[in-house]
Amino acid sequence: MIQAGVIGVGQTKYDAKRRDVSMAGLVREAIDNAMLSANLDWDAVDAVILGKAPDMFEGVIMPELYLADAIGAVGKPVLRVHTAGSVGGSTAVIAASHVCSGQFKTVLTVTFEKQSESNATWALSPRYPYSPHINAGAGGYFAPFIREYIRRYEAPEHIGWKVAAKDRQNALKNPLAHLHIPGIDEKMVSDTPMLWEPLRYLESCPSSDGACAMVITAKDQVGSRNVAWIKGMAVRSEGTLSAGRDEVNPQAGIDCAKDIYNQAGITNPFNEIDCAEIYVPFSWYEPMWLENLGFCDLGEGWKLTDKDATAIDGEIPFNMSGGVLSSNPIGASGMIRFGEAALQVMGLAEDHQVEDAKVAMGHAYGGAAQFFAMWIVSSSLD
Amino acid sequence: MSAEDTPKDYSESPINLEYFYTAGSATTRFLNQVKEGNIVGQACPKCKAVYVPPRGSCPRCGVATDIEVPLTDKGCIESFTVVHIPIPGNPIVPPYVCAMIRLDGANISFLHLIQEVDIEQIRIGMRIQAVWKPKEEWTHSLENIKWFAPIDEPDIDVATLRFQEL
């Protein structure tokens, strides 16, 4: 297999309403930033791979066609990826796969969501045929799984507030983050209204406009560029309505993590990974994924969170950029995790840089927590 | 400047999408029974898992669930949330309880409402039973069940509900 790396990451400013740009302007802003950081000419791009979440979110069906000019894809192969909220991650994996397979030398990949064009909670809460109309957005869907996690492991309620405050404190160090909440702390989180018990307002992700792009290239094209080498990558899914499924600790997440650790030669993720950007749209998913991804044993995740292990200066920093809790253009949210992991090992994360980060993990999940995408990037090829 | 004077660079244009939905043979069999007030799950012939509502195949084994399994309308709350915010397009007034309902003998759960109990008393593992609409209102829909309400039986340990292949 051909070795590949990320040579450019580009993001937009994330905000509730980016009325200053169209969808095309939004994706182009991320692409321009990625192409500039990669120091690459358009001629060098062999193909463009675009991902986003449901087209219902903007009401534009198959936007990759109308966006062909904006994404520099005219006359070039284009592929559209859609795996719900995990799509930013799976798009990165698919883009990288097209380089590792030898199909293309260099691929530009971009993901976006312009949620201000519609209402995502409405789009996620349709009336299904022959069923009572009671579904209540993503928070309403995930809250029962979180309640079961809390019951199973007797976790105290302040854990959720702690994650919510920590990620927003990190966001204050990331000028691109959507939410900048001065003075954010656990008390401020716990004082906000309950939305979907046990989740409070500030324990939930925002709805954002934004895009993220990356340039992924083969080893022989890298030259003298700064690069984040892709050491392991995988996607997994599982049957949403399958008997025996454990929504609190999905098997597909366990398997996907094991796969990338094996590829990267990682036997102890807690010790060997320097930092991670993990998809945490609701506070409690930090301890849940700490366990699911093998950073600790079952029931120990909330204890790691409680002792600040996931803080930016902790033993295993999670979501240094502020994470999905601080910026959530759904289709891009997974790629932001993958791109931020790359920025860490390239030493380009500026104020939210983890000192001496050499190995980083990017993670995304989506749908009913049945889709997973992950990668490990490293500052060195060895 | 008042709100009316503020220049607008956008406008809101609500759209209405109508579509035809074909239930498929497995769901049709299920809904024909629901219309008569019966809940009939479907079992996988290979791993014996019982699905309700059935989708026609077992995601574990990839085979058709062609064994009909009559079920009771009793079960337990596998987990739940209390929704405190109005959802766009949804007529239900918050707060309301949305629960994962696990019927006795079924190996997956489905979402439905819990009513006729103080919200503070609802708990994981609580025993519940369907409260049906009047028979003359029954259609091909799980909306024939108004909601589920607690019954006077001991709680279930939900850890025992996890499906394990025999």
- Domain residues for the domain of A233 are 4-119+206-375
> In a mutagenesis test of the B interface, which of A197, A209, A371 is the best target, namely the one with the most B β-carbons within 10 Å?
A197
Give A-chain residues touching B27 at CB under 8 angstroms: 130
Angle CA A191–A192–A195, to nearest 5: 135
CA A82 to chain centroid, in Å, comes to 14
> Residues with Cβ < 8 Å from A158, sequence gap 6 or more?
A186, A190
Please report which confidence band the pLDDT of residue B12 belongs to, taking 50, 70 and 90 as the band edges.
confident
In a domain, A228, yes or no: yes
> In a mutagenesis test of the A interface, which of B35, B65, B87 is the best target, namely the one with the most A β-carbons within 10 Å?
B87
Q: Do residue A134 and residue B92 have CB atoms under 8 angstroms apart? A: yes
Nearest CA in chain A to B15: A59
What are B75-91's pLDDT values in tens digits? 999 999 999 998 777 78
- pLDDT over threshold 60, residue B1: no
Instruction: Provide the mean pLDDT of chain B.
Output: 92
A161 half-sphere exposure, CB direction, 13 A CA radius: 14
- Residue-range domain boundaries for chain B: 22-71, 72-161
Instruction: Show the tokens assigned to A13.
Output: 């400013």
Are the CB atoms for B125 and B157 separated by under 8 Å?
yes
CA diameter of chain B: 72
Q: Do residue B60 and residue A194 have CB atoms under 8 angstroms apart? A: no
**For residue A233, what pLDDT is reported?**
98
Beta-carbon pairs below 8 A across chains A and B: 128
Give A-chain residues touching B112 at CB under 8 angstroms: 132, 134
Low-confidence ranges of chain A (pLDDT < 50): none
- pLDDT over threshold 90, residue B10: no
Q: Do residue B124 and residue A151 have CB atoms under 8 angstroms apart? A: yes
Return the C-alpha torsion angle A80, A85, A89, A90, nearest 10.
Answer: -50
Rounded to the nearest angstrom, the minimum Cα separation between A43 and chain B is 36
Query: CA-to-CA distance for B83 and A143, rounded, in angstroms?
Result: 9
In a domain, A182, yes or no: no
Complex ipTM: 0.93
Angle CA B146–B150–B156, to nearest 5: 125
For B113, phi then psi, to 5°, come to -85, 150
Query: CA-to-CA distance for A268 and A266, rounded, in angstroms?
Result: 6
What are A26-43's pLDDT values in tens digits? 999 999 999 999 999 999
In a domain, A196, yes or no: no
Cβ of residue A147 closer than 8 Å to a chain B Cβ: yes
In a domain, A154, yes or no: no
What are A149-199's pLDDT values in tens digits? 999 999 999 999 999 999 999 999 999 999 999 999 999 999 999 999 999
**For residue B92, what pLDDT is reported?**
85
Q: Do residue A147 and residue B81 have CB atoms under 8 angstroms apart? A: yes
Are the CB atoms for A336 and A327 separated by under 8 Å?
yes
Range of lowest pLDDT (A76-80, A247-251, B10-14, B123-127): B10-14
Q: How many C-beta atoms lie closer than 10 Å to residue A305's C-beta?
A: 25
- pLDDT over threshold 90, residue B11: no
Nearest CA in chain A to B35: A130
Cβ of residue A25 closer than 8 Å to a chain B Cβ: no
**For residue B9, what pLDDT is reported?**
74
What is the SS3 assignment for chain B?
CCCCCCCCCCCCCCCCCCCCCCCCHHHHHHHHHHHCCCEEEEECCCCCCEECCCCCECCCCCCECCEEEEECCEEEEEEEEEECCCCCCCCCCCCEEEEEEEECCCCCCEEEEECCCCHHHCCCCCEEEEEECCHHHCCCCHHHEEEEEECCCCCCCHHHHCCCCC
Nearest CA in chain A to B47: A243
Q: How many C-beta atoms lie closer than 10 Å to residue B101's C-beta?
A: 24
Rounded to the nearest angstrom, the minimum Cα separation between B55 and chain A is 9
B7-66 residues touching A, CB cutoff 8 A: 9-10, 15, 21, 23, 27, 31, 44, 47, 49-51, 55, 58-60
**For residue A221, what pLDDT is reported?**
97
Q: Read off the pTM.
A: 0.96
| Pure H helices in A116-183 | 120-123, 137-153, 158-171
**For residue B97, what pLDDT is reported?**
96
Q: Do residue A122 and residue B87 have CB atoms under 8 angstroms apart? A: yes
Cβ of residue A248 closer than 8 Å to a chain B Cβ: no
- pLDDT over threshold 80, residue B7: no
Query: CA-to-CA distance for B48 and B43, rounded, in angstroms?
Result: 5
Q: How many C-beta atoms lie closer than 10 Å to residue A167's C-beta?
A: 26
> In a mutagenesis test of the A interface, which of B51, B81, B118, B139 is the best target, namely the one with the most A β-carbons within 10 Å?
B81
**For residue B43, what pLDDT is reported?**
97
Please report, for the domain that includes residue A332, its CATH number: 3.40.47.10
Please report which confidence band the pLDDT of residue B2 belongs to, taking 50, 70 and 90 as the band edges.
low
Query: CA-to-CA distance for A114 and A110, rounded, in angstroms?
Result: 13
- pLDDT over threshold 70, residue B4: no
Number of structural domains found in chain A = 1
What's the Cα-to-Cα distance from B125 to each of A203, A299, A367, B101, B158, rounded to whole Å? Answer: 26, 20, 26, 10, 6
Please report which confidence band the pLDDT of residue B5 belongs to, taking 50, 70 and 90 as the band edges.
confident
